């Protein structure tokens, strides 16, 4: 092949590749899917399953309240994370309208569903999408071990909702005594991937 032919081929390949990248700009990364509904958007890996419902898990999610749970459980590991949202007026009237109260309300719902939560830590703070987030670690006791978790909550002024994002993770069921040191960073990575307002 002559140099001129090679240059023409390279230009053609570059044009096709550039055109494809332009057409698919903003798409989720390869191997990922994008959840976009109820004014919330985030990417998740396609190996994980997604379930959407109201907070109690009995009916469909609405713009006022709901949850999206993404999970994977294999023989070796468990990873489950989710995003929940609730309008302040959907909370009991005797509760404060704060992220801390939204967390308490969620844990009440979880308890009514039969899941026991233990070891709630003190609150820490971080930020996401321009909002201050309070977060804490917790445990979900099973028969002979406790699944570690982390959850955060914030108020999105743009949509008037509280949002909560959690992660429970077991890296190795064969070695439960050794906690996964990267769990908080994994939670933060999921948190940073959430867009909670401005979704068309």
User: CATH topology for 31-192?
Assistant: Jelly Rolls (2.60.120)
The 3-state secondary structure of 52-93, one letter per residue: EECCCCCCCCCCCEEEEEEEEECCCCEEEEEEEEECHHHCCC
What does the alpha-carbon distance between residue 181 and residue 37 come to, in Å, rounded to a whole number?
32
Q: For position 12, what pLDDT does the model report?
A: 46
What does the alpha-carbon distance between residue 68 and residue 164 come to, in Å, rounded to a whole number?
11
Q: For position 165, what pLDDT does the model report?
A: 95
Average pLDDT on 50-66 reads 90
In this prediction, what percent of the chain has a pLDDT beyond 70?
81
User: pLDDT tens-digit profile of 121-179?
Assistant: 999 999 988 899 999 999 988 888 888 999 999 999 998 999 999 999 888 777 766 56
Are 135 and 127 in contact by the 8 Å Cβ rule? The answer is no
User: pLDDT tens-digit profile of 23-44?
Assistant: 344 565 667 899 999 999 999 9
Q: Is the pLDDT of residue 114 over 50?
A: yes
Q: For position 124, what pLDDT does the model report?
A: 93
Average pLDDT on 109-118 reads 85
Using alpha carbons only, give the angle 54, 56, 61 rounded to the nearest 5 degrees.
0
């Amino acid at each position: 092949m002559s140099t001129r032919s090679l240059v023409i081929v390279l230009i053609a390949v570059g044009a096709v590749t550039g055109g494809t990248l332009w057409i698919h700009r903003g798409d989720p990364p390869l191997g990922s899917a994008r959840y976009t509904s109820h004014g919330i958007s985030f990417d998740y890996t396609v190996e994980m399953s997604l379930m959407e419902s109201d907070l109690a898990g009995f009916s469909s999610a609405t713009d006022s309240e709901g949850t999206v749970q993404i999970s994977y459980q294999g023989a070796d590991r468990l990873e489950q994370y989710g995003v929940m949202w609730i309008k302040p007026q959907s909370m009991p009237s005797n509760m404060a309208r704060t992220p801390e109260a939204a967390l308490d309300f969620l844990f009440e719902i979880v308890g009514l569903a039969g899941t026991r939560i233990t070891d709630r830590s003190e609150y820490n703070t971080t930020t996401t999408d321009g909002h201050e987030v309070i977060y804490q670690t917790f445990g979900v006791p099973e028969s002979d071990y406790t699944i570690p978790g982390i959850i955060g909550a914030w108020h999105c002024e743009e949509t008037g909702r509280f949002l909560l994002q959690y992660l429970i993770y077991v890296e190795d069921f064969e070695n439960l005594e050794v906690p996964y040191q990267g769990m908080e960073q994994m939670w933060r990575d999921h948190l940073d991937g959430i867009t909670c307002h401005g979704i068309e």
